[in-house]
Structure 1
Amino acid sequence: MECSTEWTMVPRKVFVTGGSGFIGTNLIRLLLDQGYHVKALVRSAADSEHLERLQPGSGTMESVEGDLNDPENWSAMKGCDALFHVAAHYSLWQSDREQLRRSNVLGTRNILAAARRAEVSRVVYTSSVAAIGAGKEGQTLNESHQTPVDQLVGEYKQSKYWAEMEARQAIDAGQDIVIVNPTTPIGPWDRKPTPTGDIILRFLRGNMPFYLDTGLNIIDVDDVCWGHLLALTRGKTGRRYILGHRNMTLKTLLDLLSKHTGIASPSRRIPYWIPLLTARVQEDILAKFGVTPSIAVDGVRMSRQWMHYDSSRAVHELGLPQSDLSAAVERAIGWFKQHGYVQKS
C-alpha cells in the first residue's frame, strides 16, 4: 500500500537502531545537531563509546543495550515519536545466510512490532538499493523497478528484499512507514569499513593495481542522513525513496581518489573471471581447510552488474541534497588517515 499521507507531527524524541554503523553514526550526529533527543539501540557498551564522543549540538543522547530481536525493545522505545530503523547485518559470505536472515529479516519484523506496541507514530526504514536490484550497463533504475528475488545476487541482497517485504506487510496492516533505499555513501565515520570504504583504504595503501569495469552510484553520507530526516517529515507513507546522487564507474571513483591524493589511479582493467576464480577457490575450497578467504564470491558476482540509479523522486519530493562528491571523498580520506586506518595491514 502506498498513500499520499505526509507526517504533520513535530518529533522531539527518536529511537535509532544501528547507531554504531556508518549511516547510523552520521545520522545520530545530524539528529543531535538538529536538537533531537536520541535513544540509540546498541549491542554492547563498547558499541556506544564512539557515539558518546560525538558533538551533542543542542540535542541529547542515551544508549540502550539490546538486540533487534529482544522482545522488550518496545519498553525502551516507549515515549519516542519516531523510529529510524537503520540496523542491518552486512556480509557477502555465503556462510552467513542464517545471520543475515536473523538480523535483517526477523530483526526488521520484530523491531517494527516493537514500534507498534510502543505506539511510535512513524518509522523510517533503511532498506537499500540492494533490495531493488541492479541493471545492465547503460541502464538506470528507479523505485518502480524490482528484480525478482531469485535473481538478486547473494544472500545479503535477498535478505534486504525480504526485510523490505516485512516493512511492506506492516504498512499494509496500517503502520506509518517510509522506506529509504541508500545507494553507496562516502564520508567520515566508516568504522568497519564498508565495501566502498575498503576500496578507498586499499587505494590509499597502494593495494589496487587493477580495477573491474563496473558502475555504482555515489552520495555524500551527510546527504543520506538528511534524506532520512526529510523522509521522516516529508515522506509519503509506503513510498520508496532512492537516496543517491551521481552514477559513475569504479574507474571514475579511483580517478577522483587520485586527484585528492596524488596516488596514481590503476590503468589496467582486470578480466572478471580472474577475481571470480580466485574467490571460488578461496571461499569454496580453502575455507574448508581453515584458510580465511579475502574475496567473496558474491562480491565479485555483484561487480558484474551495473548499480546506476535515479534519485529524482527523493530530490523533488523530499528535497534530498546533492552535495559535491569531491568534498565527501576528501572528508573520507581525512577521517581514515586521522584515525590510523591507512597504516593498518
Structure 2
Amino acid sequence: MKIFLTGANGFIGRHLTQHLAAAGHEIITLVRPGVAVDIPGSARLVRGDLAGVESWQDELAACDALIHLAARYRIGNVDRAEMAASNIEGTRRVLHAAWRGGVGRIVHVSSTAALGETFGRLGDESQRHNGRFRSFYEQTKHVAHGLAEVLKGRGVPLMIAIPGGVFGSGDGSDLAQALGQFVQGRLPAQVASGSRFQLCSVEALCDGLRRVVEQGVCGRDYLLTGQTVGMEQLITRAAQICHLPTPRTVTPEQLRWPARLCDALRPLGLRLPLSRETLRVMDGSTYLYSSARAEAELGWPWQQVCDEFDSRFDAYVRSLRTAGNRV
C-alpha cells in the first residue's frame, strides 16, 4: 500500500517507517518544516504541520491508507495550549482530511490512557473513561479518541489502534529518562507506588500497527499492550541487571511540597523532574488491557510479546547503561 504517516520523525514513527518499508509499503511521511530528518531513505518526505492541512492534503488523498501517529507526550512540564493543538485539533484536522480525500483505510493511534483506569481488572476495547484524568496528556488523548469514534459512527473507514507503554531505542519518554538516570547513578530515590501499566517493545508495537493497517476491520478498535509492570519492579530489575543497589523509596506525601515548589518555578523556564501531575500518575491506579482481539483477528502474538518482555527489557536497560558510560 501507499501509506501516509504522521509523526514519522518521533520515537515510534522512526521505527514504524522502517518496519513498513521493510514490509514492501510505500511510505509518505509528514515532517514539520525545519525539523532534522532521521527516517529511512526509502520514505518520501512531505514538509508540513498538522495545522496546515491544505499544503499536503493532495498527497494524503493519493494514498491508500493513513496512520495518524503524531502526538505530543509529556507528563508534568506541559504547555497545555500546544499539547491540545497537536493532540486534539491536529487529530481532527488530519482525520477529516483523510475522510474528505477518500483514503480507504485510516488508522488513528490512541493510547490506553484514553480509555482510563481499570481498577485492577483487565479491560478490553469496550472500556470507557470514567472522567478522572491524571494528566493533561490523558485528557487530550481521550478527547482525540472520541473524535475518531464519532467518525467511525459516520461510516468513515477508520480503525483505532490502542497501545500501552512502549520502550526501545530512541525512547525519550519519562520512563526512559527515569531508567536512564538510575543506571547512570543519578536517581537517588524512587516513589513508592502501586500503579501498574503495560509495556511492550517498539518492534512489537510496529508489528501490531502494520497488522492493523493491513488486516484490520474498518470500524474496529485494536488494543496492542504488553507485559504488566510497575515502576518499582522495573527499577529493581534494572538494578539486578546493572549490579546496582536499589534507590531508597519515598512516599508521594513526602514529595507533595517539593512538587508544588517545582511547579511554581517552572514558569521561570526551568525544566524540573517533579510535578504534582507526576505524583497523580503514581497514585496506585492501573491501566491494564487485554489484546485478545488483536491476537485473534490479526495474529498479533500478544502472549509471545509478554513472554519475550524480560529479555527485550534487559537488553534495553543494558543499552541505557552503555549510552550513559559513553557520555
- Do residues 47 (structure 1) and 36 (structure 2) align? yes
The partner residue of 1:27 within 7, 12, 16 is 16
Correspondence for 1:70: 52
Q: Distance in 1 between matches of 2:20 and 2:268?
A: 47
Which range is displaced more, 224-233 or 318-327?
318-327
1:202 pairs with 2:181: yes
Alignment equivalent of 1:332, drawn from 304, 316, 320: 316
2:255 maps to what in 1? 275
Corresponding position: 1:82 with 2:65: yes
Q: Percent identity?
A: 27
Unaligned runs of 5+ in 2: none
Instruction: Summarize the alignment of residues 1-345 of structure 1 with structure 2, pairs less than 5 Å apart.
Output: 12-48=1-37, 50-51=38-39, 54=40, 60-72=42-54, 73-93=56-76, 96-136=79-119, 138-149=120-131, 151-190=132-171, 193-211=172-190, 212-213=192-193, 214-266=195-247, 268-283=248-263, 285-304=264-283, 305-321=285-301, 322-323=304-305, 324-333=308-317, 335-336=319-320, 340=323
Q: Aligned partners of 2:180, 2:274: CA distance in 1, in Å?
A: 15
Question: Structure 1 stretches (4+) deviating beyond 6 angstroms?
Answer: none
In structure 1, how many angstroms separate the alpha carbons of the residues matched to 2:230 and 2:134? 19
C-alpha displacement of 1:92: 2.5
Return the offset for 1:180: 1.0
Deviation at 1:288, TM superposition (A): 4.4
Residues 254-298 of structure 1: per-residue CA shift (max 9 Å, x gap): 2332343223333x4321112333222211x22345544322321
Contact 1:15–1:83 (CA<8 Å) still a contact in 2?
yes
Distance 2:325 2:121 in 1: 35
Q: Decide which moves more: 138-147 or 179-188.
A: 138-147
- TM-score, normalised via structure 1 length: 0.85
Paired positions, count: 319
The superposition leaves residues 48-95 of structure 1 with CA deviations (integer Å, 9 ceiling, x where unpaired) of 2x21xx4x6xxx311111111213231121321101100001132475
Moved more, 288-297 or 230-239: 288-297
Contact 1:68 1:107 survives alignment (8 Å) = yes
Alpha-carbon distance between aligned partners in 1 of 2:176 and 2:273, rounded to the nearest angstrom: 16
Farther off after superposition, 92-101 or 170-179: 92-101
Is contact 2:4–2:60 with CA below 8 Å preserved after alignment?
yes
Contact 1:205 1:343 in 2 (8 A): no
| Partner AA of 1:202 in structure 2 | Q
Contact 2:183–2:239, Cα closer than 8 Å, also in 1: no
Equivalent position SS for 1:68: coil
1:94·1:154 contact (CA, 8 Å) conserved in 2? no
Deviations 1:214-259 (A, max 9, x none): 2121111111111111111222222222211111222221233234
Q: Residue 73 of structure 2 contacts residue 137 of structure 2 at CA under 8 Å; is this kept in 1? A: yes
Evaluate the alpha carbon distance shift between residue 47 and residue 165 of structure 1 in structure 2; reply closer, same or farther with a 3 A threshold: farther
Return the alpha-carbon distance in structure 2 between the equivalents of residues 90 and 319 of structure 1. Answer: 29
Q: Look up the equivalent residue of 2:180 and give its one-letter code.
A: L
Residue 6 of structure 2 aligns to which amino acid in structure 1? T
Q: Which amino acid aligns with 1:196?
A: L
1:187 Cα deviation (Å)?
Answer: 1.3
Rate the CA distance shift 1:342–1:228 in 2: closer, same or farther, 3 A.
farther
Report SS of the residue matched to 1:47: coil
Q: Secondary structure at the match of 1:146?
A: coil
Distance 1:269 1:337, change over 3 A: closer
Measured in 1, the distance between the counterparts of 2:318 and 2:210 equals 26
- Measure, in 2, the Cα distance between the counterparts of 1:96 and 1:233: 35
User: Which TM-score applies when normalising by structure 2?
Assistant: 0.89
